[in-house]
Each structure stands twice: as structure tokens, then as C-alpha cells.
Amino acid sequence: MYVVIKEGGKQYRVSKGDTLDIEKKDVEQGATFQFQSVMMYCSEQDVRIGRPTLADVTVTAEVKGEAKGEKVESYKYKRRKGYHRKVGHRQKYTRVIIKDIEVK
């Protein structure tokens, strides 16, 4: 059984017990929350596709902490002008574990 959820402008295919890094949320470590938009549900007997979301399927997750992505470096340069600039960025994520998928 798996579901497709939408969070932070991205779609994720998750099953029970999966670990997932989503965009940073203001939720304490150890807290649980539910994903609001479930787009598809698939099990051995049933496939449901939301238009655009499914209201009768809920996905519960537990927050395990924060994580940082890999460093992305950007470099700007203009030739013969003496201009160059290097900028780095590390995206922050919230790491969650999918605890339960309920179908009503």
C-alpha cells in the first residue's frame, strides 16, 4: 500500500514506515501531524485517484528532527570588469517518518 502526497510544492510517493525529508516546518521534534493533500491511494485491492485530493485518506507522520541538504554554490562573473561573486546555500529540511495511512 502506498499514497502520493503533495507537500511544499512537491509530490512524494510514501508507504508506512518511510523516512522523508520535506521542506522545513515549524513543528517540534517528536510531534505528529497529518498531511493535508493526499493525491492518490493504492493498495492491492483498491486504487483511488483524487480530483484534486482525497478527503477520506489521512497520512500521519512523526517529526524526527531537522536536516540540511547539500551545499549549492552559485558563481557570478563578468569578464574584464573585475566583478565576481560566490554565494553558497544549504536548504533546511524537516525529517519525518510515516506512521500510519488511514482510509475511512
pTM for the whole thing?
0.82
Q: Where are the domains of the chain?
A: 2-103
**Tens digit of each residue's pLDDT, the chain (104 residues):** 999 999 999 999 999 999 999 999 999 999 999 998 999 999 999 999 999 999 999 999 999 999 999 999 999 999 999 999 999 999 999 999 999 999 98
- Output Rg (C-alpha) for the chain, integer angstroms: 19
Contact between 4 and 12 under an 8 Å Cβ cutoff? The reply is yes
d(CA 85, CA 94): 30
